[in-house]
Amino acid sequence: MALEQSLAALSLATVSSESATPTKTLVFKPKTAKTATPVPVIVFALQSTQTPSNVIAKAAGVKEPRLAKEDLIQEFFATSPKEFSIANLNKDSAAKVKFVIDESIVKAPEDTVLELSTESSKASLPAKIVVSFLESIGVDLIAVDFSADELTEVAPKKEVKKKDKDAAKIEDAKLIGINVDKAKDFSTWYSQVVTKGEMLDYYDVSGCYILRPNSYFVWETIQDWFNIRIKKMGVKNSYFPMFVSSRVLEKEKDHIEGFAPEVAWVTRAGSSELEEHIAIRPTSETVMYPYYSKWVRSHRDLPLKLNQWNSVVRWEFKHPQPFLRTREFLWQEGHTAHLTRAEATEEVDQILDLYAGIYEELLAVPVIKGKKTENEKFAGGDYTTTVEGYIAATGRGIQGATSHHLGTNFSKMFDISVENPEGADKPKVFAFQNSWGLSTRVIGVMVMTHSDNKGLVLPPRVAQNQVVVIPVGITSKTTDEERKAINDGAAIIEKRLKYADIRALGDYRDIYSPGWKFSDWELKGVPLRVEFGPKDMKQEQVTVVRRDNGEKSVVKLADLEKRIPEVLDQIQYSLLANARKEFDEHRVIVNEWKDFVPTLNAKNVILSPWCGDADCEDDIKDSSAKKDDGEDEEVDEKAPSMGAKSLCIPKEQPTLKEGQKCVKCDRAAVNYCMFGRSY
Amino acid sequence: MALEQSLAALSLATVSSESATPTKTLVFKPKTAKTATPVPVIVFALQSTQTPSNVIAKAAGVKEPRLAKEDLIQEFFATSPKEFSIANLNKDSAAKVKFVIDESIVKAPEDTVLELSTESSKASLPAKIVVSFLESIGVDLIAVDFSADELTEVAPKKEVKKKDKDAAKIEDAKLIGINVDKAKDFSTWYSQVVTKGEMLDYYDVSGCYILRPNSYFVWETIQDWFNIRIKKMGVKNSYFPMFVSSRVLEKEKDHIEGFAPEVAWVTRAGSSELEEHIAIRPTSETVMYPYYSKWVRSHRDLPLKLNQWNSVVRWEFKHPQPFLRTREFLWQEGHTAHLTRAEATEEVDQILDLYAGIYEELLAVPVIKGKKTENEKFAGGDYTTTVEGYIAATGRGIQGATSHHLGTNFSKMFDISVENPEGADKPKVFAFQNSWGLSTRVIGVMVMTHSDNKGLVLPPRVAQNQVVVIPVGITSKTTDEERKAINDGAAIIEKRLKYADIRALGDYRDIYSPGWKFSDWELKGVPLRVEFGPKDMKQEQVTVVRRDNGEKSVVKLADLEKRIPEVLDQIQYSLLANARKEFDEHRVIVNEWKDFVPTLNAKNVILSPWCGDADCEDDIKDSSAKKDDGEDEEVDEKAPSMGAKSLCIPKEQPTLKEGQKCVKCDRAAVNYCMFGRSY
């Protein structure tokens, strides 16, 4: 592979820099017993550095290293000595060599750019990137100060590694793209996308994560969208304390039972033990409903509709996962009380529609609306409605958000009641309650759905930066005047876009090549790239490249304000359409049990006629967890259960044939239920 | 006092209701030893209820009750028997009587309206209000079922109290206005205003409060206003975890020292003891800065400007106070890192201007911008700027919000550094940092500043409801047609206002009289009342009444959309102008120490020439806490210190005379400093 191609494969575009420092890459073969496999020693140094073989021998701990011949290089790196460069290294070959690096490279000033060359190609790269790349493929760097008077190894291997480890990680995250395949190692891929896409960072306290601006912006957009709509429905925002006294929390034994093992307890303040231990809310029913009881005195106080945007804490001991399972997470929780059941249940549906809207209109993630089975519903409620998503890469379903009708279960526990409007002699009326919540998990679902091996893909409506403007085509032959014209032109384009309410930003950093910038912004998920170069200038146009599909087109400067929003809309639309197609293709009707597990194993969720019986549901779960098809299932430790859970009873139902039996048992089916492995 | 006036004083307007149930109020004198003071027994019953004296005797536990004569009534209630009503009762007299109440009143259907009458006056009131009023003045109600066959006391005193206590409290909060004078008992007044104005409710966990929609809306308005402006400055919102491991928190000993006694610790999750105890952030320096260190690798990563809207916990053991001192509170904390000091300090001022804007433009609260003294600055920073407010009712200063320049103190601790842009051989550069925060305390300052004895006064810009539309002038003589025309007209006015983006609401509840509604919305602080009655309809107008000053005027229906926003602007402007006048009048220049304490005692804050010495500052505090003027100072337990603290060194300085000495010591003054008792 040529050097450029190889680097391009690493998402590293070449840097055209006159000031790049030339380097050399040499391969040595040490003296080796004839029966043993030789361990080549690669020396990577500045062109100007003298690299005596006795220093190399000492540093690498080998005897009599000599420049390797063609056959060895061909054998180890499948290339000729003239074409060999560090780009020929990969994880496999890295494990088989020793690697001596010039300390001048490791300790180079941050902005240093190196020139790597072979006989047929040449490329310039920031030194940090080169080091990061080497670290990333698992090379053990032996840094050597060739200039030292004493021919000693000045920086022992371990020390260098430690010293540069953090830096490598950071530069890695920043400069080098995703290095695993979404299809092959989904879990590592996801972790890389969310961190390198700067959505989130891992935090010192396990299970807690930092929401960086790139993801918090998504959350703010959701907040704005949802607030406008719930306020129209008469819901008001408020804030209740994060603490619940143990007395109050434990009063509602049935309710708290599910949460108890996950409740975080404050027992001490400063150096004082608290007399009564205080819980951090895992959810706010017991926080809010005593006050609902107090505030609701007359039927005129109903409906009472409050929502809050807050964080809750569930100290899960399962493996945490960014956005999806975190010990503290942000959400909104709406809690409403109504005079009539009809009014309450109408609201449950309205909210579910809003949740579907957040997924589909903002995040471009298709969802299926439905009702949870008795097994899967919120224990305290009458019924639970849900929007369910699908992660194509793993073939699993994922719960999106839930809207519960609580009936009068809680109002009876907490005495949220009013005198009967029909007369004080009639029995008092308990309020009909709903609760509904949507959390930052939505962001994880969005990332899993759209992002790819180049990094994050953000739908335009929730992207902090919708457009990045990059000046291109500036070479060593470009005159100062031309360079200025291009840069100024790009800046004007950025301004015009901003003025048209498009969230645009320009990248005018001259240390990086356009190609490097392309990769960087692709990694961060910016939906649209606008390139502006000499040819564009001449033709009064920009070249635009879509992040979602790489499609390139040209927009006349005169049409900028009209055309760019259209392209952004197209991207938003395509993302949803493609994800919907994928979901539709992997939501398979299965009427007979024999097809159930094979269909599941083919990364599908399943629609099956079902009897509605809870035991049967358990049976389906158990049976689908077994290797019924004789094949080994892929083992994924992070799956809460490898059996198929019921995801929901979809609102839109396939027509049930007369006399249709349950997919699993002999009972008559009452409806179609969606089953799947899930998060 | 006549009944109407008396009720008016209670902010209870009369209800004109044809369906009111007549009542009677009787005073009995039981048989008493001649030397003893008699205990009158008041009987309050429906007119239709028979109230035999033997039943009264039994219920009240007295002997031979007889209708009281004029002298006794005059002595106890300062009125004649013909004019006596429950409105003549107050906290003093309530303690000296027994009070028997007809159970038909206590248990009356919720909507029951009672007619109270004396020879010269008549008033109708919901039964609930009457009961609440009695409870509120401390009457022990003895409820008696006069209709029972057996002449027994059916509801023992205690039981009734318990049963109706909650109800009374609620109705009290809702229906009865503020019953203490802002000028006389500020603390109780404040507590009543925030609860009865439905800004906040007290919570089960001490020091924590519920922010109800009326106050949370203020916070949301502040968020929107501030977000727009900081985003323009390049600040991005994010969210960091609420937890800090003890290891990290305690690493920064100097920083944490101030917070340590107030840190809440999570030691247990579910039933598991945590291996490492985890703190809830009291502020986020130690949460965020390790990651700043990680993210900032090159000077191109600067400035890094993040903000978060979150809650923090400081488990203070001092007396909590709604909004001002709470154990959990909402705030924003901005943390920024810059390459140069100049850039950082410029931002400190920009943010302080925004804080002043929140106070003055949104909350109509005037503030003084300045710098904290060394004693009062944030210990970890280089200097602290502040906006300082003034609470006229108590004559105290109050810190509004602070914007700190941290210098390189934290960047050195946490290694937030970059290579020197001037060359790698030059020493590395530590970032110059700022932090700035504003909390829900602002809401408390706003309430204290504008509200009055009628309740809350909300500036229009932050009022959830800016206008309340109330149909008026509907009497028993009103035809159905007229009534409909008035109600429909009011509803159209409400709709027109809403359509013009005014936050309007209509109150069409027919159970309450207009006067009652007036009081209710005044209590809740709605800035403008729009009345629409028969006369208005005829003259194609509405009558508008300002909450802030009671001013009444007329607006032609045709001018509604133009004129109402103007009136709202006038209210906003007046509130600020009045508060500013008050602050200006009570910010007094004092050059000589002899005038210092008397001026302070006259509820002023003081501008004095000052030497700038920390010990002198302490001396001023100590000396002003003593009773130097020979008068007893008002003791207020809730004052953190009765000595005068330095509030700030104002940015706008009076001119310092040449050779001007410090107000307290013999040193030369370096500037004017603002001193005051404070919150």
At B350, the pLDDT band (50, 70, 90 cuts) reads: very high
Q: How far is CA B613 from CA B374, B617, B651, in A?
A: 9, 6, 18
Across the range A550-554, mean pLDDT stands at 97
* The predicted structure's pLDDT at residue A227: 98
B427 touches chain A (CB under 8 A): no
Q: How far is CA A90 from CA A106, A173, A182, A496, B562, in A?
A: 20, 19, 19, 45, 73
B145 touches chain A (CB under 8 A): no
The CA dihedral of A362, A368, A370, A376, to the nearest 10 degrees, is -100
Distance from CA of B499 to the nearest CA of A (A): 13
Q: Tell me the chain B residues in contact with residue A251 when contact means C-beta distances shorter than 8 Å.
A: none
* The predicted structure's pLDDT at residue A18: 60
Pick from A307, A316, A247, A245: which is nearest to A281 by CA?
A245
**Neighbour count for residue B561 (Cβ, 10 Å):** 13
Q: Is the pLDDT of residue B49 over 80?
A: yes
Across the range A370-389, mean pLDDT stands at 95
Distance from CA of B448 to the nearest CA of A (A): 21
The CA dihedral of A373, A377, A382, A386, to the nearest 10 degrees, is -90
Question: What's the token pair of residue A112?
Answer: 């240093």
At A589, the pLDDT band (50, 70, 90 cuts) reads: very high
B573 touches chain A (CB under 8 A): no
Q: Is the pLDDT of residue B119 over 90?
A: no
Pick from A231, A119, A93, A106: which is nearest to A171 by CA?
A106
Q: Which helix (H) or strand (E) covers residue A408, if one does?
A: none
Question: From the list A201, A277, A419, which residue is nearest B109 (CB)?
Answer: A419
At B16, the pLDDT band (50, 70, 90 cuts) reads: very low
| Helix, coil or strand: residue A577 | helix
Question: From the list A205, A261, A291, which residue is nearest B270 (CB)?
Answer: A261
Q: Which residue do the tokens 């909402």 mark?
A: B330
Q: How far is CA B339 from CA A73, A354, B290, B584, in A?
A: 47, 44, 17, 40
What is the share, in percent, of chain B residues with pLDDT greater than 90? 65
A419 touches chain B (CB under 8 A): yes
* The predicted structure's pLDDT at residue B367: 98
Our CA angle for B61, B64, B68, nearest 5°, is: 100
Question: What's the token pair of residue A650?
Answer: 């979809």
State how far the Cα of B105 lies from the Cα of B111, in Å rounded to an integer.
Answer: 11
Q: Which residue do the tokens 């949740």 mark?
A: A355
pLDDT tens digits, residue range A241-284? 999 998 888 877 777 777 888 999 999 999 889 988 999 999 99
Written in H, E and C, the secondary structure of A140-155 is: CEEEECCCCCCCCCCC
Interface of B with A in 643-672 (CB under 8 A): none
Q: Is the pLDDT of residue A627 over 80?
A: no
* The predicted structure's pLDDT at residue B148: 64
Q: Which residue do the tokens 């970890």 mark?
A: B380
By C-alpha distance, the chain A residue nearest B329 is A241
Higher-confidence residue of B156 and A582: namely A582
For the domain made up of B193-242+283-450, the CATH class stated in words is alpha beta
ipTM of predicted complex: 0.76
Give the range among A107-116, A577-586, A642-651, B638-647 with minimum mean pLDDT: B638-647
State how far the Cα of A481 lies from the Cα of B46, in Å rounded to an integer.
Answer: 97
Across the range B413-436, mean pLDDT stands at 92
Q: Tell me the chain A residues in contact with residue B219 when contact means C-beta distances shorter than 8 Å.
A: 239
| Helix, coil or strand: residue A132 | helix
A232 touches chain B (CB under 8 A): no
Pick from A356, A395, A367: which is nearest to A588 by CA?
A395
Enumerate the β-bridge partners of residue A606: A588, A675
At A652, the pLDDT band (50, 70, 90 cuts) reads: very high
Enumerate the β-bridge partners of residue A506: A469
* The predicted structure's pLDDT at residue A14: 42
Question: From the list A171, A205, A237, which residue is nearest B243 (CB)?
Answer: A205
Q: Tell me the chain A residues in contact with residue B300 when contact means C-beta distances shorter than 8 Å.
A: 509, 511
Q: How far is CA A47 from CA A3, A66, A126, A601, B535, in A?
A: 18, 18, 16, 55, 97
Across the range A641-655, mean pLDDT stands at 91
State how far the Cα of B556 lies from the Cα of B567, in Å rounded to an integer.
Answer: 13
Q: Is the pLDDT of residue A12 over 50?
A: no
Q: Fold for domain A590-676?
A: Translation Initiation Factor IF3 (3.30.110)
Ramachandran angles phi, psi of B217, nearest 5° = -60, -40
| Helix, coil or strand: residue A24 | strand
Give the range among A103-112, A527-536, B282-291 with minimum mean pLDDT: A103-112
What count of CB pairs under 8 Å joins A to B?
175
Higher-confidence residue of B523 and A93: namely B523
A624 CA to centre of own chain: 28
A511 touches chain B (CB under 8 A): yes
* The predicted structure's pLDDT at residue A65: 87
Q: Is the pLDDT of residue B637 over 70?
A: no
Distance from CA of B38 to the nearest CA of A (A): 39
Query: Could A166 and B260 be called an inter-chain contact, meaning their C-beta atoms sit closer than 8 Å?
Result: no
Q: Which helix (H) or strand (E) covers residue A54, if one does?
A: helix A53-60
Ramachandran angles phi, psi of A533, nearest 5° = -130, -175
Q: Is the pLDDT of residue B150 over 50?
A: no
Residue type, B196: K
Query: Could A268 and B280 be called an inter-chain contact, meaning their C-beta atoms sit closer than 8 Å?
Result: no
- Show me where the domains of chain B are located: 3-144, 193-242+283-450, 467-579, 590-676
State how far the Cα of A185 lies from the Cα of A390, in Å rounded to an integer.
Answer: 18
pLDDT tens digits, residue range B55-64? 888 888 888 8
Interface of B with A in 43-102 (CB under 8 A): none
The answer to whether the bond into B303 is cis (omega within 30° of 0) is yes
State how far the Cα of B448 lies from the Cα of B397, in Å rounded to an integer.
Answer: 12
Outline where A358-479 has alpha helix (H).
409-414, 441-450
At A583, the pLDDT band (50, 70, 90 cuts) reads: very high
Distance from CA of A333 to the nearest CA of B (A): 15
Interface of B with A in 174-213 (CB under 8 A): 174, 201, 203-205, 208-213
* The predicted structure's pLDDT at residue B158: 36
Interacting residues of B380 by C-beta distance below 8 A, sequence separation 6+: B254, B255, B285, B404, B406, B409, B410
A165 touches chain B (CB under 8 A): no
A300 touches chain B (CB under 8 A): yes
Across the range A4-24, mean pLDDT stands at 56
Q: Is the pLDDT of residue B370 over 50?
A: yes
Query: Could B245 and A311 be called an inter-chain contact, meaning their C-beta atoms sit closer than 8 Å?
Result: no
Q: Tell me the chain A residues in contact with residue B268 when contact means C-beta distances shorter than 8 Å.
A: 264-265, 267, 277
Average pLDDT, chain A: 88
* The predicted structure's pLDDT at residue B432: 98
Query: Could A239 and B295 be called an inter-chain contact, meaning their C-beta atoms sit closer than 8 Å?
Result: no
Interacting residues of A129 by C-beta distance below 8 A, sequence separation 6+: A12, A171, A175, A176
Question: What's the token pair of residue A266?
Answer: 């404050």
Domain covering B467-579: architecture: 3-Layer(aba) Sandwich (3.40)
By C-alpha distance, the chain B residue nearest A262 is B270
By C-alpha distance, the chain A residue nearest B236 is A213
B216 touches chain A (CB under 8 A): yes
Pairing of strands A98-102, A141-144: parallel
* The predicted structure's pLDDT at residue B627: 52
Pairing of strands B645-650, A396-407: unpaired
Query: Could A238 and B212 be called an inter-chain contact, meaning their C-beta atoms sit closer than 8 Å?
Result: yes
Give the range among A385-389, A612-616, B313-317 with minimum mean pLDDT: B313-317
Largest CA distance in chain A: 105
Question: From the list B209, B261, B509, which residue is nearest A270 (CB)?
Answer: B261
State how far the Cα of B183 lies from the Cα of A378, in Å rounded to an integer.
Answer: 52
Total residues found in chain B within this entry: 679
What is the share, in percent, of chain B residues with pLDDT greater than 70? 90
The string of DSSP letters for A65-92 reads -EEPPHHHHHHHHSS-GGG--GGG--HH
Q: Tell me the chain A residues in contact with residue B208 when contact means C-beta distances shorter than 8 Å.
A: 241, 243
Q: Is the pLDDT of residue B91 over 50?
A: yes
Query: Could A237 and B220 be called an inter-chain contact, meaning their C-beta atoms sit closer than 8 Å?
Result: yes
Q: Which residue do the tokens 């040499």 mark?
A: A26
State how far the Cα of B402 lies from the Cα of A43, in Å rounded to an integer.
Answer: 56
State how far the Cα of B479 lies from the Cα of B476, in Å rounded to an integer.
Answer: 8
Question: What's the token pair of residue A420?
Answer: 């009967």
Q: Tell me the chain A residues in contact with residue B169 when contact means C-beta distances shorter than 8 Å.
A: 294
As a whole number of Å, the end-to-end CA separation of chain A is: 40
Q: What is the CATH number of domain B3-144?
A: 3.90.960.10
Pairing of strands A41-46, A429-430: unpaired
Question: From the list B201, B213, B239, which residue is nearest A236 (CB)?
Answer: B213
B228 touches chain A (CB under 8 A): no
Outline where A500-559 has alpha helix (H).
514-523, 534-538
Most confident of A24-38, A169-183, B8-22, B201-215: B201-215
Across the range B609-616, mean pLDDT stands at 95
Ramachandran angles phi, psi of A89, nearest 5° = -80, 145
Q: Is the pLDDT of residue B227 over 60?
A: yes
pLDDT tens digits, residue range A520-542? 999 999 999 999 999 999 999 99
